[in-house]
Amino acid sequence: MPHDADLPVSRPQTTYVVEHLRTGFIENGAGAGSRLPSIRRLTRELAVGRNTVIEAYEHLVAEGLVHSRPGAGFFVAERARSGQEDTIPVSLADVTSENWRLFEQDDTRLKLGCGWLPDDWREIDDLAHAIRSVTRQSRAGVFDYSPPLGTPALRTLIQQRLRRLGIETHANQILLTGGGSHALDLLVRLLIRPGDTVLVESPGYYNLLGLLRLQRANIIAVPRRADGPDIERLEALLLEHRPSLMFINSVFQNPTGTSLSAPIAHRLLRLAERHDVRIIEDDIYADFQNTPSVRLSELDGLDRVIYVGSFSKSLSCSLRVGFISGQPELIRRLVDVKMLTSISAPHFAEQVLATMLQNGSYRRMMERLRVRLARQMSATLALLRKAGWQIFDAPAGGLFVWTRHPDIESSQRLVAHAATRGIALSPGRVFLPEARDTPWLRINVAYATDARARRFLADPANDRA
Amino acid sequence: MPHDADLPVSRPQTTYVVEHLRTGFIENGAGAGSRLPSIRRLTRELAVGRNTVIEAYEHLVAEGLVHSRPGAGFFVAERARSGQEDTIPVSLADVTSENWRLFEQDDTRLKLGCGWLPDDWREIDDLAHAIRSVTRQSRAGVFDYSPPLGTPALRTLIQQRLRRLGIETHANQILLTGGGSHALDLLVRLLIRPGDTVLVESPGYYNLLGLLRLQRANIIAVPRRADGPDIERLEALLLEHRPSLMFINSVFQNPTGTSLSAPIAHRLLRLAERHDVRIIEDDIYADFQNTPSVRLSELDGLDRVIYVGSFSKSLSCSLRVGFISGQPELIRRLVDVKMLTSISAPHFAEQVLATMLQNGSYRRMMERLRVRLARQMSATLALLRKAGWQIFDAPAGGLFVWTRHPDIESSQRLVAHAATRGIALSPGRVFLPEARDTPWLRINVAYATDARARRFLADPANDRA
């Protein structure tokens, strides 16, 4: 009879304590047999209720990670099948488990720290129309595998859209994927061998960091500035570490919300050429931008730059479509990886998206969305400034603000305070390759004008709702 | 301006010659500068037209793999960015490129060698009804990420279905994936490190072989018999190679169509226990079976056996849903890999499937499908026997027959002959880990009573249509 180790933890505070113990003690700690903090100590240190701590310990005992000795306290358990743990680096847990809770349907917290649009912002009519139209008109869309590169009509539509960004490519140099993360994953698998050195931005997209850890890459981080990566530091890192690959999020970077400037793009490319580094340009927020700024793929002509785009952030997180564009030989090899690992991407989603690109409903939806997001961005920046938060750099658009409160040195504490007030935040450390605690935090502006968010942002140190 | 290297090759014979050259000479051959066979020689050896060979060479020249010297012939080209090739083992090409052509929409050949149901067998009404119902009733299904484990209602329905196979598990020990290949991929990434030794069946599922090569696993093969793996050979291989993991396709094995017997299942599990090997039981053809036979997961109680199921083969290749069931700690770690590599599986497809499982339309569809497939299987076996084909073992159901013609020693030749007659076959060697040519071939019975297939099977050595 299986035990219930994976039953979701129902309360956000409990999740917080579970993850605090899991990542802070059990997985990175002193190993089997070590004593864990007492209930009293955790209650005080984490500013949560006694019952919350007890519930967290009960969960960990049920999971087999902790055992209790009556009268003596809680201890890290011996793990069954200990060989298994080695197959994923332990540090992976730092960027994973505490974030997945945000994806649960029954999570009623305000998702101020999440990376997607609120459900009530979604417009159903045009999308439902496209779904009905594909279902009626395309047996292939309903039943068949998508071709290896993806639906040809959609690739042509994407090619035309890229041209508007100044990126010239061929429809046969576009490979469709099941979203942006899937695109990054295919590239990671093709281009990175365990032990390879790769450059990322810090702070940067946490899922990418996890993905690189999963592939056992050697991760080197270049600081992200308001106008792109720190070029002086980048040059030094290129000389010292000789990476073969660099990841950059050019526009509305996750988590800082900043965009690459033209001069930095130019200098970055020159450095990449001199040091023979390939660049993966993650541009999944492209459609959130009113007027295109410069892209590396535009300057470089997709020679050493590989472009990643996505519609998952804008259209739907369920009907996921992303894509990669690059040199023909690269795309040919990516087809192998895509087919072996998933046999084509979801055909139905590709056809629904193609329908909406063709009839103009996607364009009109994005126009409305950009207006709404711009209003939220102004309101959020005003809220934050008024309450004394420091802003990394005011973004020109997109979803994210990277911010810190001068009185609070630990975003872990902020996350804990927010949890007691029904708000889900992602701690800043998940965006840092070294996963250390930081005062910085990513705020999703689409959620920031909710009354709960307003109260929290105005007085973040108060941990009683 | 990009060149058109990845433009699809339009004619099947040309594809055949391109792949013959690519895998036989260019990628496994003597390296840059080597002379390639003359047009005359290829025309004779491959029994194809002169124009076909010329077109194939033109394609390879456009792709940059071959250069021609007027009057002297064709030569393997120096490759640009030669470092890139090393990131995927060259042998991968053996099981990939020539198969992807089958997935193209414009491929009008009879897909006698493919692994899925013919489009005109698909029943649209119930599926379209479920799509409309999800679109109307579930904003979450249309817009949101699926939770990390997948839609809870669907996991409960799958749990109930597994119980009917004698497999007891918990809904929280079921992880939904984007199909069976995605499920295998998640397991491969979590459980196999480069250089790890794994056991597969030979012949076996070619995508799995490619996936294992991609992960740089050390692949050891145990011969597949009519009742399962060759147990004596298996024991010797376990002693000699000490693999940590074994893959087995228990029911209607791909490509032999055979099913594991109860005594072999029992002996296999005892060996696995003695040698501490984990088993991944790929059971994606489960719903094609009328009366359940024994599964390893049933005998073992999902302790060392990990179960993989799928609805992609039965319901739709486009709306793909598969799943993994295993120990809670394994599932927890698989969630990390799933979220990092694709952020959830397609929610919409999960909800559509849940609707059809709930209202009984999936069950009724499968009942009709099994009757139809059983008829096809009888007819195909009769056809093959009448024409003198040797059958590996007559399957009790499912899609596949593994067969050879006594007069033809090379299934590569059979593939070439079939191509001239508008029929797509998969050569037997793609199912063998060592990728050597073999007389054996996989036939998909759903396509075998088409007039083109009947003529080909009756007289396979005739290469003129």
Domains of chain B, first to last: 4-80 (1.10.10.10), 96-121+363-458 (3.90.1150.10), 124-361 (3.40.640.10)
Token code pair at residue B445? 């019975």
- Judged against a pLDDT cut of 60, whether residue A370 lies above it is answered with yes
Residue A10 has what pLDDT? 46
User: How many whole angstroms separate alpha carbon A197 and alpha carbon A329?
Assistant: 22
Residue A3 has what pLDDT? 34
- Judged against a pLDDT cut of 90, whether residue A278 lies above it is answered with yes
Token code pair at residue A427? 């701690």
Residue B435 has what pLDDT? 84
Please report residues of A whose CB lies closer than 8 A to that of B7: 172
Is the CB of residue B178 less than 8 Å away from at least one CB of chain A? Answer: yes
Q: Kindly report the number of other CB atoms within 10 A of residue B290's CB atom.
A: 12
Is the CB of residue A195 less than 8 Å away from at least one CB of chain B? Answer: no
Contacts of B423 (CB under 8 A, 6+ apart): B109, B110, B112, B113, B452, B453, B456
Q: Considering chain A, what is the average pLDDT of its residues?
A: 88
- Residue pLDDT, tens place only, B408-443: 999 989 998 998 999 999 889 999 998 888 999 999
Q: Where are the alpha helices (DSSP H) in B46-101?
A: 50-62, 97-100
Shortest distance between the Cα of B447 and any Cα of chain A, in A, equals 16
- Residue pLDDT, tens place only, B199-240: 999 999 989 999 999 998 999 999 999 999 999 999 999 999
The SS3 assignment for A97 reads helix
Instruction: Say which residue, B220 or B78, is predicted with more confidence.
Output: B220
- Residue pLDDT, tens place only, B136-162: 999 999 999 999 999 999 999 999 999
Contacts of A462 (CB under 8 A, 6+ apart): A417
Residue A463 has what pLDDT? 64
- Judged against a pLDDT cut of 70, whether residue A193 lies above it is answered with yes
Is the CB of residue A242 less than 8 Å away from at least one CB of chain B? Answer: no
Instruction: Name the nearest CA neighbour of A105 among B432, B139, B301, B86.
Output: B139
- Residue pLDDT, tens place only, A160-176: 999 999 999 999 999 99
The separation between CA A435 and the C-alpha centre of its own chain, rounded to angstroms, equals 15
- Residues B404/B429, Cβ–Cβ less than 8 Å: no
The SS3 assignment for B111 reads coil
What average pLDDT score do residues B40-69 get? 80
Determine whether the interchain pair A344/B317 forms a contact, defined as Cβ–Cβ distance below 8 Å.
Answer: yes
Instruction: Name the nearest CA neighbour of B142 among A180, A89, A129.
Output: A129
Peptide bond into A203 cis (omega under 30): yes
User: How many whole angstroms separate alpha carbon A151 and alpha carbon A144?
Assistant: 11
User: How many whole angstroms separate alpha carbon B260 and alpha carbon B252?
Assistant: 8
Residue A125 has what pLDDT? 95
Record the pTM.
Answer: 0.81
- Residues B35/B75, Cβ–Cβ less than 8 Å: yes
Determine whether the interchain pair B348/A349 forms a contact, defined as Cβ–Cβ distance below 8 Å.
Answer: yes
Is the CB of residue B203 less than 8 Å away from at least one CB of chain A? Answer: no
Q: What letters, b where the CB count within 10 A reaches 16 and e where it falls short, cover A22-34?
A: bbebbbeeeeeee
Determine whether the interchain pair A119/B139 forms a contact, defined as Cβ–Cβ distance below 8 Å.
Answer: yes
Calculate the dihedral angle through the C-alpha atoms of A157, A159, A162, A168, rounding to the nearest 10 degrees.
Answer: -160
Among chain B residues, the shortest Cα distance to A343 is held by B181
- Judged against a pLDDT cut of 50, whether residue B90 lies above it is answered with no
Q: Any idea which of A210-214, A347-351, B47-51, B257-261 has the lowest mean pLDDT?
A: B47-51
User: How many whole angstroms separate alpha carbon B407 and alpha carbon B405?
Assistant: 6
| Mutation choice for A interface testing from B145, B177, B186, B306 by most A CBs within 10 A | B145
- Residues B159/B323, Cβ–Cβ less than 8 Å: no
Residue A20 has what pLDDT? 78
For A:6-25, CB contacts with B below 8 A are 6-7
Please list the residues that pair with A65 across neighbouring strands.
none
- Residues A179/A322, Cβ–Cβ less than 8 Å: yes
Determine whether the interchain pair A147/B105 forms a contact, defined as Cβ–Cβ distance below 8 Å.
Answer: yes
Instruction: Name the nearest CA neighbour of A115 among A127, A106, A103.
Output: A103
Is the CB of residue B80 less than 8 Å away from at least one CB of chain A? Answer: yes
Determine whether the interchain pair B340/A181 forms a contact, defined as Cβ–Cβ distance below 8 Å.
Answer: yes
Shortest distance between the Cα of B291 and any Cα of chain A, in A, equals 25
Determine whether the interchain pair A122/B143 forms a contact, defined as Cβ–Cβ distance below 8 Å.
Answer: yes
Q: Which amino acid is at B458?
A: A
Determine whether the interchain pair B105/A344 forms a contact, defined as Cβ–Cβ distance below 8 Å.
Answer: no
User: How many whole angstroms separate alpha carbon B148 and alpha carbon B156?
Assistant: 15
What average pLDDT score do residues B92-115 get? 75
Residue A259 has what pLDDT? 97
What average pLDDT score do residues A225-235 get? 97
For B285, phi then psi, to 5°, come to -100, 15
Is the CB of residue A120 less than 8 Å away from at least one CB of chain B? Answer: no
Among chain B residues, the shortest Cα distance to A3 is held by B328
Among chain B residues, the shortest Cα distance to A128 is held by B135
- Judged against a pLDDT cut of 50, whether residue B9 lies above it is answered with no
The SS3 assignment for A263 reads helix
What average pLDDT score do residues B98-113 get? 82
Residue entry with tokens 């899609």:
B399
Ranges A54-63, A118-127, B36-45, most confident? A118-127
Among chain A residues, the shortest Cα distance to B352 is held by A142
Residue B62 has what pLDDT? 66
User: How many whole angstroms separate alpha carbon A263 and alpha carbon B116?
Assistant: 52
- Residue pLDDT, tens place only, B165-174: 999 999 999 9
Determine whether the interchain pair A178/B346 forms a contact, defined as Cβ–Cβ distance below 8 Å.
Answer: yes
Ranges A62-76, A342-356, B231-245, most confident? B231-245
- Judged against a pLDDT cut of 70, whether residue A212 lies above it is answered with yes
Please report residues of A whose CB lies closer than 8 A to that of B348: 318-319, 348-349
Q: Where are the alpha helices (DSSP H) in A115-261?
A: 125-137, 139-143, 152-164, 180-191, 206-214, 231-241
Is the CB of residue B115 less than 8 Å away from at least one CB of chain A? Answer: no
Is the CB of residue A159 less than 8 Å away from at least one CB of chain B? Answer: no
- Judged against a pLDDT cut of 50, whether residue A80 lies above it is answered with no
Among chain B residues, the shortest Cα distance to A336 is held by B96
Instruction: Say which residue, B231 or A92, is predicted with more confidence.
Output: B231
Q: Kindly report the number of other CB atoms within 10 A of residue B96's CB atom.
A: 26
- Judged against a pLDDT cut of 70, whether residue B10 lies above it is answered with no
- Judged against a pLDDT cut of 80, whether residue A16 lies above it is answered with no
- Judged against a pLDDT cut of 70, whether residue A205 lies above it is answered with yes
Residue B104 has what pLDDT? 79
Contacts of A347 (CB under 8 A, 6+ apart): A140, A141, A144, A145, A146, A151, B317, B318
Q: Which amino acid is at B341?
A: T
Instruction: Name the nearest CA neighbour of B266 among B324, B226, B227.
Output: B227
Among chain B residues, the shortest Cα distance to A94 is held by B336
Among chain B residues, the shortest Cα distance to A79 is held by B329
pLDDT band at B17 (very low <50, low <70, confident <90, very high): confident
Residue B28 has what pLDDT? 53
Max CA pair span of chain B: 70
The CA distances from residue B391 to B28, B206, B228, B428, in Å, are: 32, 20, 16, 14
Determine whether the interchain pair B144/A318 forms a contact, defined as Cβ–Cβ distance below 8 Å.
Answer: yes
Which of B142, B173, B329 is nearest residue A318 as measured by Cβ atoms? B142
Residue B3 has what pLDDT? 34
Among chain B residues, the shortest Cα distance to A180 is held by B342
The ipTM, to two decimals, is 0.80
Residue B295 has what pLDDT? 97
Determine whether the interchain pair B348/A318 forms a contact, defined as Cβ–Cβ distance below 8 Å.
Answer: yes
| Mutation choice for A interface testing from B168, B340, B355 by most A CBs within 10 A | B340
pLDDT band at A81 (very low <50, low <70, confident <90, very high): very low
Determine whether the interchain pair B340/A210 forms a contact, defined as Cβ–Cβ distance below 8 Å.
Answer: yes
What average pLDDT score do residues A196-225 get? 94
